[in-house]
Amino acid sequence: MQPLALYNTLTRKKEIFEPLHAPFVGMYVCGPTVYGEAHLGHSRAAITFDILFRYLTHIGYKVRYVRNITDVGHLVNDADEGEDKIAKQARLAQIEPMEVVQHYTTRYHQDMQQLNVLSPSIEPRASGHMIEQIAMIEEILANGLAYEVNGSVYFDVPAYNQNHHYGKLSGRIVEDLLANTRELDGQQEKRSPLDFALWKKASESHIMRWPSPWSEGFPGWHLECSAMSRKYLGPQFDIHGGGLDLMFPHHECEIAQSQASNHTDAAKYWVHNNLITINGQKMGKSLGNFITLRELFTGQHDLLQTAYTPMTIRFFVLQAHYRSTLDFSNEALLAARKGYLKLMNGLKVLDKINYPADAEESGAQDNDVQKLLDDCYRSLNDDLNTAKAIASLFNVLKKINSMYMGQVPVTSLSSAMFQNLKNTYRALVTEVLGLTEERPDNLDQMLALLLKFYKDAKDAKDYAKVDEIRAEFKKLGIVVKDMKTGIDWAYEE
C-alpha cells in the first residue's frame, strides 16, 4: 500500500507525508472567531481536519492537534483598522465581550459535537496568550523586521522581503501587491501599505486592551496563531491547516512572523480546504449569505426544503474532495442523506451475517475483497480523497449485501478475511469518516413491535393492514424487507 500523500500549498504539489519526529505529528488549524453562530462554511474546515486527525491516528501516528479560538484582535473586514468583531457584537448586545466569547464558544462546541467532530488535543485562546505574543513581537523588533509608531507595532514587509519571499504561500509578488494597493485612511502611520499590525494601540473607546511595552492595546489577528503554534508545537511542526480564504493574508503573515522570530518556516505542510459556495459565491458571515448549522438541523431557513441531520451534513462535506469547491443545494443534501443511510445499512447488515462455526472455508474471494478494502485506503492515502474512499466503500458494500442476500456464500471468504472485512468497514465508516447512526434510543423496541404486527397481518393475509404498517414504516424513513430468511428492515435510501 502506498504511503499517505498530502497536497502542500507551499510547494503546490502532492508530497509523501513524512513527519519531523515520527511517530509524533504536530498539527495546527485555525479555529473560529467566536462572535456569531457557526455556519455550513465553518463545518467544512472542522470536518476536513477532523478526518485528517482521525486518519493519522488510525494509521498509527500520535497526533497533537491544536485548534485555536480567536477571541480578540480580529477586526472587521480582516483589516488593521476598525472595530474588533467580538467587541462590536458585545456593543450591539450591550454585554461584556467575554460574554459573547463564552456564548458562541459553547454553541460552537455543541455544533461540533453534533457533527461528531472530535475535540482537538489543545484549544488555546488568543486572550490567554498575551505573554507569548508580546515576546514574539519583541523578537521580531530585535531582528529589525518590525517598527513601533505611536504605540502600535507593524511588521516591515519590504524589509522582510529583502531576504525572504513574502507571498510564497499564495504565489503573490510584493511588487505586484504594491502596484495594486491604494493608500487607505488610517494607515498613514505604516511605512508601507503591505505592512501589517503586530500590536495596535487601543483607542479610548476600544474595550479589549492589555498592557504592553508599547501601549495599552491588543495583538494583531495574524500574530496569535504564530505564537500559540510555537508554544504548543515548537518552532517547527508538521501540518498547518485552514480554509483557503485564510491563505492570504493570514497564513502568509504567519509564515513571515515565524521566520522573522524563529529564523525558520514553522510548518512543513500547509493544507487548505476549499470553500462551500452558495449560488457560486463563497458562503460567509461578511457576505450575509450563510446558513447556520442550527438552521440546517431545524430546517428554519428560507433556502431549506427540509431539516438536515448532522450526519447528513457531515456526509455532504465528505462526498467531495476537500480541495474542490462544494456548492450548497437541497438536492445535494438529499443525495448525501441517501448515501449516508447506505453506509449505515451496511453496518446493520454486517451485524446480521454470521460465519458458520463448522464451515469449510474456501477463501476463493479473499483476494477480491482485499482489493476492495485496499482501494479505500488507496483513496485516503491519495491526499485524503474521501469522495473516492466513499465510492470504494460502496463497492465493499455490494459484496456485503450479496452475502447477506445469499447470492454469494459467506464461506467464499476465509473466516480471517470475513473478520477483516467487518473490522475494516466498521473502522473506516465510524472511526475514520466519523459517521454514526442517528436513531432514537427506543427505536429497536418500536421496530420489533411493528415488525411483529406486520408478520401477524401477513400471516392472516390482511393485506390492507400490511400496507398500512408499511406506510407507517415509511413515515419513519424505513422500508420493510420480505426475505427468504424472514422479515427485516432497512433505512430508506
The annotation places the binding site at 30, 225, 250, 254, 285
Cβ atoms 290, 304 nearer than 8 A: no
Distance CA 87, CA 89 (A): 5
Distance CA 136, CA 266 (A): 13
Q: If we measure between CA atoms, which residue out of 375, 393, 493, 373 comes closest to residue 433?
A: 393
Residue 329 has a CB neighbour count (10 Å cut-off) of 13
- Residues constituting the chain: 493
- Binding site for ATP, by residue number, is 285
Which backbone phi and psi does 24 adopt, to 5 degrees? Answer: -85, 140
Distance CA 145, CA 18 (A): 32
Cβ atoms 369, 413 nearer than 8 A: yes
Give, as one character, the DSSP assignment of residue 96.
Answer: -
- Binding site for Zn(2+), by residue number, is 30, 225, 250, 254
Residue 57 has a CB neighbour count (10 Å cut-off) of 16
Cα atoms in the 13 Å half-sphere on the side-chain side of 188: 2
Give, as one character, the DSSP assignment of residue 200.
Answer: E
Residue 446 has a CB neighbour count (10 Å cut-off) of 13
Distance CA 362, CA 280 (A): 53
Cβ atoms 104, 92 nearer than 8 A: no
Distance CA 32, CA 38 (A): 8
- Find the angle CA(39)-CA(41)-CA(44) to the nearest 5 degrees: 115
User: Residue 388: helix, strand or coil by DSSP?
Assistant: helix
CA separation (Å) from 125 to 30, 109, 203, 247, 393? 11, 14, 23, 21, 38
User: Residue 251: helix, strand or coil by DSSP?
Assistant: helix
Q: If we measure between CA atoms, which residue out of 76, 70, 18, 368 comes closest to residue 206?
A: 76
Cα atoms in the 13 Å half-sphere on the side-chain side of 445: 3
- Find the angle CA(70)-CA(71)-CA(77) to the nearest 5 degrees: 70
